[in-house]
Structure 1
Amino acid sequence: MADPTPFGLDPNMEDPETLRTNLLNSLDQIIEQNQSSFGWKQFLQAILVSLASLFDGQQTFISVYTDAIPTWHCSTTTTTSCTTNSNICDLADSDWSWDSTSSTTIISDWSLQCSSSFIRGLPASSYFLGGVIGGLLLGTLADSSLGRKKLLLISCVTMSLASFITIFSPNVWVYSAVRFISGVGRSSISTCVLVLLMEKVGKKWRPRVGIMQFFFFTLGFLSLPLIAYLNRANSWRALYLCTSIPAVLYCLLLQFFVSESPRWLFMNGRKEEAVAILLKSAGQNYPSELKLLLVSSHEVEVDSSNVSDHPYKSMKDLFAKRWAMKRTLTVMVLGFGIGMVYYGMPLGVGNLGFNIYLSVMFNALLEIPSYPITCIILERWSRKFSVLGFCLVSGICGIVCAVVGQKGVRIGLELASFFCSRTAWNLISMFTVELFPTCVRNSATSLLRQSNVLSAVFSSMLVSVGSSNEFLSYGVFGLAIFFSGFFVGFLPDTRGGMLCDTMDEQERKENMTLR
């Protein structure tokens, strides 16, 4: 005879506190069993969620082409000593011309070639600064009132519409302001995508599904050289048009076809919706267990300490407990150091004197092998020592890249440093999801992301300065990731562990581990 109370759920025999604990445990077990076989429904959901990262990747690195200094040539009618090695700012306007149309980039369109490095780097820095501020303002809403899906939708709509409006910018100041709004919009995309993907599956599929977010981000990054090359004779505005329209259309798919995280729904008292989503994805696999979970859940109220309408409660919880604060600050330091290389290297390839289309494409292509490597590491080896190793190698390559003079060697070192930083970022992102419970998971991941994006604000400025002093860009990038890697020693390893849902559950788990 089948067990009438699978997973130990029996509302008639258990007190409310015990039942509450067992409900959370049984939800975790059902997700583990339900997702042990990854079917086409789960795969389609993962694809639809991950597509948001594709458009995020495009907007993140689009300034490599739209904000670049175009190539130029001396006028054939000039009588001066103009050469390609001349300083363009020391020449008369009649002595030189752009190789392409004057509207190819914002530099040539608005005659910013002789402006300060601050002005030239302002749009990119504004975008990343918007990402930092937006993350702090919006990131916690995914843990409180909005949930993962709604915040992802709001972020995608804001980013895509702002990208479209960018087309109509009349000057660099308006352009920077709209890029700031776009940055605010995209601030929560990667965190919501990663958390939404990993909360829907069990530990077996967590690394494989979580890596899809990074893969689609790379597809967006990789699509830029092709789109930019096809539009090389057109205005920079065409590049924003080609990337913003598909992003707007994607928002419709997100609204109607993507489901919310059942973990978040259950933690926020929306038990019927959580079970309905699990039933829909499970088909006929575990209907009796899921229905019993729903029946049992009516016998107990959700712990009010874990449900709050206050948008910043989850942020407060991250710093209220010593263990949570230590983890939060540690992952933020790691995110900042890794981001200095991850964003700085691609943004600064123009300073290496290499073909800008090929160099960006090589950086994007190098991200692809980092994904299977990440999956293998997460399934077989320690998270801590893997992050440390990749940070140290990336830092050494970045520092050496800043001091060697041979162009081919420098490109190779830049690619090696970028590859290691990409892999380190994959690892620390998925590591962070496992370090924190459901009630604060998106907020913690958002803080990691914001520290990472904050580094992009500084790295984009350093790239402008690095055109005259390369150690102030690549050398600083290498030092930042090298020393930040040692902070991973403050984190516990989470390999093979289950995701927790509440702060108390996470704390009990850590205390049991220490014993």
Structure 2
Amino acid sequence: MLQKWVGEFGRAQMLHFVLVSLAWTINAMHAMVMIFADRQPPWRCLPTMGCTSASSICEMDSREWEWIGGKGRSIISKWGLICSEAYKVGMVDSMFFVGAFCGAGIFGSLSDSFLGRKGVLQLVCIMNAVVGLATAFSETYWTYLALRLITGFSSGGIGLSSFVLATELIGPSWRGVVAMSVFYFFSTGIMLLSGIAYVAPSLRYLYVFVSLPTFFYLCLVLPFISESPRWYIIRGRTDEAMQVLRLFAKRNGRPVPPGVELASEISNCQELLEPNEQTISHSPNGKASGTLLDVFRYAETRTRMMVMVIVWFGSAIVYYGISLNVVNIGFNLYLSIFLNAVAEMPAFAITAILLKKLGRRIILVGSMLLSGGCCLMAVFLSSQGKAEIGLVVCGMIAIFGMAASYNLIYLYTAELFPTVVRNAALGLASQASHVGAMTAPFAVVLAHFTHAFRL
């Protein structure tokens, strides 16, 4: 239908793609806000005899020093998460990814079942907006931790549902290139977050400013987004799928001729599996259903799933580890985060250009090797006491490599699995990345202590 009648990527798909992908921008704000919420504010000595600029706040009495700008600048100053309590910073960040781990699996399945792609996107955006605003007014550390856990849970479903919803209406010859553009929106969210954090006078205002765009998205953008016709088809609702396709064809200036209709055809999954085996089950009303058990039941898809789980896990450790570790470099935090986001942009363009020439696998392996090599170089520079700018450059190149990897693995994974289990497979792969991301905050805390110990 897309290739012959509707058009594979006309102005209707372009507008729909942009509107859906804006969800990645607000998701980036909710996910990466921890960088600024967790920073350690500067402190100064009070006029006493025992305090100097070289003193350690862990060794001084609390009456000898104070936080510059007050206690409300970050969770560290607000709840005294220093010294023996510093592990709680890594804990709250890890709990965000624990929530994302759970949310990716649950919302991935719901997106393939009765809620649909758009239904899941609406639900998780509502959760993010409400819980994000509640986080701004949390008065205790444990309340804050619980709210960040819930935010992670809802964020785990945003990227997944929006990626599939944005790309399933695009024809096969354009889908790969256009899918590479999704992550421009995530990087843009990080860049905007740097500006928001710069003007936010306190932790409370930071979360208020981050939550407001989600409310705007719910009210001004989501009503104009269409459900995926592919989801309608696997639910046996071909008439509604046809309505969406006719609407898009009309907007593209290519109306579908009378008499052209869709038929539910599920046999396209068959070539992935063993001969004479059924890929999915059919209910009496004609709906097709599939679960992760179907993925692991057959050798071909089982091997693919295991490999992608490892790739997602490794990519997440590096990406979030580098992003969160910016606080330990000593360079301007707002500028560093902004530059890292800028460094991601060329990776998306280069990946899209090379995609057809080199294929998925070579680009994925090359980008991960580049990122890992730069991380090792940063270790060398740090051990030699080199300038901070060298560490920033290594971080930017490493982020460049991981951005190329993340830019590709969503598309790569989606292409490896049939429609009826695509979101479930993406959900499991995304869960693997969240397991990797859970370890990154503790690595950052350990890096801070190791650096302080060397000094």
TM exceeds 0.5?
A: yes
Out of 79, 98, 114, the position equivalent to 2:49 is: 79
Q: Write the distance in 1 (CA, Å) between the matches of 2:138 and 2:83.
A: 20
Q: Which residue of 2 aligns with 1:38?
A: 9
Q: Does 1:211 align with 2:180?
A: yes
Q: Which residue of 2 aligns with 1:479?
A: none
Q: Secondary structure at the match of 2:58?
A: helix
The one-letter amino acid paired with 1:248 is F
Q: Secondary structure at the match of 1:466?
A: helix
Q: Write the distance in 1 (CA, Å) between the matches of 2:118 and 2:291.
A: 17
Q: Write the distance in 2 (CA, Å) between the matches of 1:100 and 1:195.
A: 44
The one-letter amino acid paired with 1:222 is M
What does 1:99-498 align with in structure 2 at a 5 Å threshold?
99-231=68-200, 234-283=201-250, 285-288=254-257, 291-294=259-262, 305-307=280-282, 313-405=290-382, 406=386, 407-469=388-450
Q: Which residue of 2 aligns with 1:98?
A: 67
Cα displacement string for residues 35-82 of structure 1 (whole angstroms, at most 9, x for unaligned residues): 64633322221111011111100011101111111111223x221252
Q: Which residue of 2 aligns with 1:27?
A: none
* 1:382/1:38 CA distance change after superposition, 3 Å: closer
Q: Is the 8 A contact 2:51 2:65 kept in 1?
A: no
* 1:189 shift after superposition: 1.1
Q: Write the distance in 1 (CA, Å) between the matches of 2:281 and 2:354.
A: 33
Q: Is the 8 A contact 2:6 2:256 kept in 1?
A: no
Q: Write the distance in 1 (CA, Å) between the matches of 2:435 and 2:106.
A: 14
The one-letter amino acid paired with 1:442 is N
* 1:255 shift after superposition: 4.2
What does 1:44-59 align with in structure 2 at a 5 Å threshold?
44-59=15-30
State the identity as a percent: 32
* 1:252 shift after superposition: 2.8
Q: Is the 8 A contact 2:234 2:289 kept in 1?
A: no
Q: Which residue of 1 aligns with 2:273?
A: none
- How large is the RMSD of aligned CA atoms in angstroms? 2.3
* 1:246/1:316 CA distance change after superposition, 3 Å: same
Larger Rg: 1
* 1:91 shift after superposition: 1.4
Q: Secondary structure at the match of 1:169?
A: coil
TM-score calculated relative to the size of structure 2: 0.90
- In structure 2, runs of 5+ residues without a counterpart are 266-277
* 1:307/1:69 CA distance change after superposition, 3 Å: farther
* 1:254/1:438 CA distance change after superposition, 3 Å: farther
* 1:306 shift after superposition: 4.5
Kindly tell me the number of residue pairs found equivalent between the two proteins. 432
* Farther-moved stretch of structure 1 (305-314 vs 393-402): 305-314
Cα displacement string for residues 159-186 of structure 1 (whole angstroms, at most 9, x for unaligned residues): 2211111112111111000000011111
The one-letter amino acid paired with 1:145 is F
Q: Which residue of 2 aligns with 1:478?
A: none
Q: Write the distance in 1 (CA, Å) between the matches of 2:288 and 2:156.
A: 16
Q: Is the 8 A contact 1:153 1:251 kept in 2?
A: yes
Q: Which residue of 2 aligns with 1:66?
A: 37
* 1:236 shift after superposition: 0.4
* 1:466 shift after superposition: 1.1
Q: Secondary structure at the match of 2:123?
A: helix
* 1:304/1:385 CA distance change after superposition, 3 Å: closer
Q: Which residue of 2 aligns with 1:18?
A: none
Q: Is the 8 A contact 1:193 1:213 kept in 2?
A: no
TM-score calculated relative to the size of structure 1: 0.80
